[in-house]
Structure 1
Amino acid sequence: MTNYYRMTIKKRSKRKTIVLVMICFMGILSLMPMLDRDDRREGASGPRAASEPGAAKDEFTEATEQAGNEILAGDSGVDALLFKEGVVQKGDTVMTLLGDFFSPAEIISLARECEEIFSLSRICAGHAFAITTQGDDFHGFEYEISAAEKLRILKAEEGFQVERAPIEYDVRTERVSGVITSNLYAAVDAAGESPELAVRLAEIFAWDIDFIRDIREGDTFTVLAEKRSRDGQPAGYGRILAAMFINQGQVYKGFLFETAEGQAHFYDENGRSMRKAFLKTPLDFARITSGFSRKRFHPVLGVNRPHLGTDYAAPTGTPIKSVGDGVITVLTRNNASGNYITIRHNNSYETSYLHMSRFASGLKRGSRVRQGQVIGYVGQTGWATGPHVCFRMKKNGQHINPVKLKTPPAEGVPQDRREAFTGLVSHLTTTLEQDTSQTAEAAQRQAVPAL
């Protein structure tokens, strides 16, 4: 493991310094009688001796005493705080990270104290951590749970103080825009941004735009996004405050708005929720290799038969998401479908995801899943000629074409929050709609004041 140490207080050689200060004082005291005799020889007009009560001290004595006091104040006997920072490596556990300071029994006790805040068994490789010591004693431990939050453990008089704390970033808001020439990833990259922004943008409009089938050359996007940095280094994106996507001439807008309950969701300019009952597709980006058909030539069996789903081709291991909230009713494998999952969403709808390479960990029959949750990964199990997912949907027990499904949106902005929402939309729209006719070459980032 690669670690480095950073001292916050420089250690001094305390005993040596104190001895030197005391020698200086003893030397000064030994000179006092001679200085006093010399002053008396000068007569009454000379300055009073420093040894007399109320007399002014000479400059050397004052400077020496002041320096001594500063050194002694700095050398209080308190050991320096030492920070050990690093990244959790594969195979590391809380026992390996803190084993130099605590016995196994003490670590078990610490784990119990942390359980309600964050289970120490969930410490993962690749996450940053920091250990603070004072001398040979443990002082504190921090572990970055996610990009937004960290676990903080501090030694207390009795036991430990355990809490979750936000990770602090420097944040600025920027306007980012681009033009589609081939796909969304390429357009975001051309705008100088990371793939994360493409994924976030696709998630906002996932209920209205199929980013596999619908986007065209010349489509445009604009985003008002928070960009974060730590210690002067880029650290990803914060919130997306507003976004606009023009797809085949149709304008879609989304505005982030927090309800009175503290829940933040995206709504269109009229206050309707962007979220609908089902996502358009179970993959963020892929291509359709075979659509819904009552009669299709089967590439493996070599005969015509119904294809009651939509095939999305993607590299093996691509995450597959549930298109809606629901309960897993089937999680199994067979010769034809390979690894597959069926989810019941309500009394009317159910969806199936076939040919997975593997299931997401922790899932089983009866598990509840939420919309957008990863349930498995693209594969080539069963009767398949290449890695893909066959996505199927039933309504009232009958197979339907999911591409043509239209579902109503979720609940919109509450009436008592409409005025605040309208003000926010008016404020953000002015910036969002600037220069919407920009070409791909001119669609560059423009900084805007923090909101």
Structure 2
Amino acid sequence: MKRKYYYITLILFLLIAIIVIIWNLFTPEISKERRHLIEKITSKPIYEYGIPIDSFTVIQGHIRTNQTLGNLLVDLNAKAEIIGKLPYYTNGKFDLKQVVAGNTYKAFLTQNSPSKLMYLVYEKSPIDFVIFNFKDSLIIQNDHKQVTSVRRLSEGTISGSLWETIYQRNLNPILALNMSDIFAWTVDFFGLQKGDKFKVLYDELYVDNKPIDIGTIYAAWFEHRGERFYAYRFSQDSAASYWDEKGNSLRKSFLKAPLHFSRITSRFSGSRFHPILKIYRPHTGVDYAAPEGTPIMAIGDGYIIDKGYNGAAGNYLKIRHNSVYTTGYNHLSRFGIGIANGVKVKQGQIIGYVGQTGYATGPHLDMRFWMNGQPIDPLKVKAPPVEPIKSEKMEAYLSYIKGLQTKLDSLPLVPVFPEAAIGSFAK
């Protein structure tokens, strides 16, 4: 009996020994396979522009002044036959004139020697790029990066210009340009005063976690010279524009003419025979003939920025209507009551009277118009519409802006960037 138990114990011992030996023999292989699997999972290729960049040698640079795509490809040792046929390959897919100095490019070359150019990525903008694939001849693909939109609510108190204040607040400078366009007809951005204030609700656009642009501005508020102006983005007749808290358009129209009764005797021209100087030269205005003393009206709201006398224009004055438009009035017999440099005038206000001072053969008004500092034909200016929100849409509009106005009014004007105000507001 004892011998029987002895054999059973011996057999069990041998079985355990065999299991241990087998385990030791195969466990390293299992561990090795496991490690290989883990490495395979964790070492995924890194993609940029859809290209596995860890498989290539990457060269990044910026387009030099006067550098063409062909020049760049020569520098990168691209195939000569492809470079010679660039107009053929790019026709309808990429405009070779779009290569702009300063823009970024990235070249992807094989890691073997000698290296070969496989891809070239040219960034047309922070968002848009084009891929040149050199694997088989040349394939061109236009694409864009993913854009992330972040809703922001920001504010500021003017200490210099709007741009300077935006910059000091660590806000996107593009915001200054967009706001000046929205309030162009109500705020004199050339005459901002220290202490003027603004609040704005908008989207900021990001690519690769970097701010690249300002998206939609939903609502804004500006306090200028003690007056408060609201702006709300709203679509009417499928066109989005900005309106105040009462549904009035922020964009103001111009009068068709600065005189009630007149006739045009000379139009805008690149070459006109001057009746006094007896030479041909550009006439960048429109002459309105009218009896001396006929009242002249400001064609739009604005500020007098220049008033005086010179030999050619006689008595003259200039009105800046916004950051885009300026008008001029020449040969006046006299100025209107209270007209002086820096004075604000209203549309239709009498600013002077027709005369024939300066180079003039008879009483008339020489009307000038400038857009962004460049003379344009006053008769061809497309004045923006001023129609208010339609009555059938007014209830929906007032309901829509109620929440926006609450957000603007609730934001305190503080001397720090309003991080706490950044959030996902309802669109």
TM over 0.5: same fold?
Answer: yes
Distance 2:125 2:101 in 1: 12
String of CA shifts for 1:371-421, please: whole Å, max 9, x gaps.
x7x6xxxxxxxxxxxxxx58687469xxxxx9xxx9663567789987875
Match of 1:88 in 2: 63
Contact conserved, 1:84 with 1:130, CA < 8 A, in 2?
yes
- Of 142, 149, 165, the residue aligned with 1:163 is 142
Contact conserved, 2:58 with 2:107, CA < 8 A, in 1?
yes
- Residue 305 of structure 1 and its aligned partner are, at CA, apart by 1.1
Contact conserved, 2:59 with 2:106, CA < 8 A, in 1?
yes
Match of 1:98 in 2: 73
In structure 2, the residue corresponding to 1:212 is in which secondary structure? Answer: coil
Contact conserved, 2:127 with 2:207, CA < 8 A, in 1?
no
Distance 1:150 1:258 in 2: 32
- Please say which structure displays the higher CA radius of gyration: 2
Residue-pair matches, total: 315
Contact conserved, 1:308 with 1:392, CA < 8 A, in 2?
no
Distance 1:67 1:435 in 2: 55
Q: 1:120 to 1:106 in 2, by over 3 A?
A: same
- Residue 144 of structure 1 and its aligned partner are, at CA, apart by 2.6
String of CA shifts for 1:289-310, please: whole Å, max 9, x gaps.
514xxxx422xx5x88133645
Q: 1:43 to 1:185 in 2, by over 3 A?
A: closer
- Residue 124 of structure 1 and its aligned partner are, at CA, apart by 0.8
| Amino acid corresponding to residue 314 of structure 2 in structure 1 | R
Match of 1:242 in 2: 219
Distance 1:108 1:422 in 2: 62
| Amino acid corresponding to residue 316 of structure 2 in structure 1 | H
- Of 62, 74, 78, the residue aligned with 2:30 is 62
Contact conserved, 1:272 with 1:413, CA < 8 A, in 2?
yes
Q: Any unmatched runs of 5+ in structure 1?
A: 1-41, 279-286, 313-319, 325-349, 354-371, 375-388, 397-401
Describe how 1:116-131 pairs up with structure 2 within 5 A. Answer: 116-131=92-107
String of CA shifts for 1:28-62, please: whole Å, max 9, x gaps.
xxxxxxxxxxxxxx9677537999xxx99622343
Match of 1:306 in 2: 315
Describe how 1:263-342 pairs up with structure 2 within 5 A. Answer: 265-269=241-245, 273-276=249-252, 290-291=306-307, 296-298=308-310, 301=311, 305-307=314-316, 309-310=318-319
Matching of residue 430 in structure 1 with residue 406 in structure 2:
yes
- Residue 252 of structure 1 and its aligned partner are, at CA, apart by 2.2
Contact conserved, 1:225 with 1:238, CA < 8 A, in 2?
yes
| Amino acid corresponding to residue 306 of structure 2 in structure 1 | S
Distance 2:228 2:59 in 1: 51
Describe how 1:371-390 pairs up with structure 2 within 5 A. Answer: 389=373
Q: TM-score, normalised by structure 1?
A: 0.53
| Amino acid corresponding to residue 87 of structure 1 in structure 2 | H
Contact conserved, 1:311 with 1:390, CA < 8 A, in 2?
no
- Residue 429 of structure 1 and its aligned partner are, at CA, apart by 1.9
Matching of residue 450 in structure 1 with residue 424 in structure 2:
yes
Contact conserved, 1:185 with 1:198, CA < 8 A, in 2?
yes
Contact conserved, 2:130 with 2:140, CA < 8 A, in 1?
no
Match of 1:140 in 2: 119
- Residue 222 of structure 1 and its aligned partner are, at CA, apart by 1.0
Distance 1:65 1:102 in 2: 42
Distance 2:199 2:316 in 1: 38
Contact conserved, 2:197 with 2:222, CA < 8 A, in 1?
yes
In structure 2, the residue corresponding to 1:102 is in which secondary structure? Answer: coil
In structure 1, the residue corresponding to 2:423 is in which secondary structure? Answer: coil
Contact conserved, 1:150 with 1:167, CA < 8 A, in 2?
no
Contact conserved, 2:201 with 2:217, CA < 8 A, in 1?
yes
Match of 1:212 in 2: 190
In structure 1, the residue corresponding to 2:18 is in which secondary structure? Answer: coil
Q: Any unmatched runs of 5+ in structure 2?
A: 1-12, 44-51, 255-302, 328-366
- Residue 182 of structure 1 and its aligned partner are, at CA, apart by 4.9
| Amino acid corresponding to residue 243 of structure 1 in structure 2 | A
In structure 2, the residue corresponding to 1:140 is in which secondary structure? Answer: strand
Distance 2:169 2:94 in 1: 38
- Of 378, 381, 385, the residue aligned with 1:409 is 385
In structure 1, the residue corresponding to 2:410 is in which secondary structure? Answer: coil
String of CA shifts for 1:289-346, please: whole Å, max 9, x gaps.
514xxxx422xx5x8813364589xxxxxxx96789xxxxxxxxxxxxxxxxxxxxxx
Q: 1:199 to 1:297 in 2, by over 3 A?
A: same
Distance 2:160 2:39 in 1: 68
In structure 1, the residue corresponding to 2:181 is in which secondary structure? Answer: helix
Q: 1:137 to 1:309 in 2, by over 3 A?
A: same
| Amino acid corresponding to residue 70 of structure 2 in structure 1 | M
Contact conserved, 2:221 with 2:230, CA < 8 A, in 1?
yes
Q: TM-score, normalised by structure 2?
A: 0.55
Contact conserved, 2:133 with 2:139, CA < 8 A, in 1?
yes
- Of 174, 180, 185, the residue aligned with 2:158 is 180
Output the aligned Cα RMSD: 5.0
Match of 2:264 in 1: none
Match of 1:200 in 2: 178
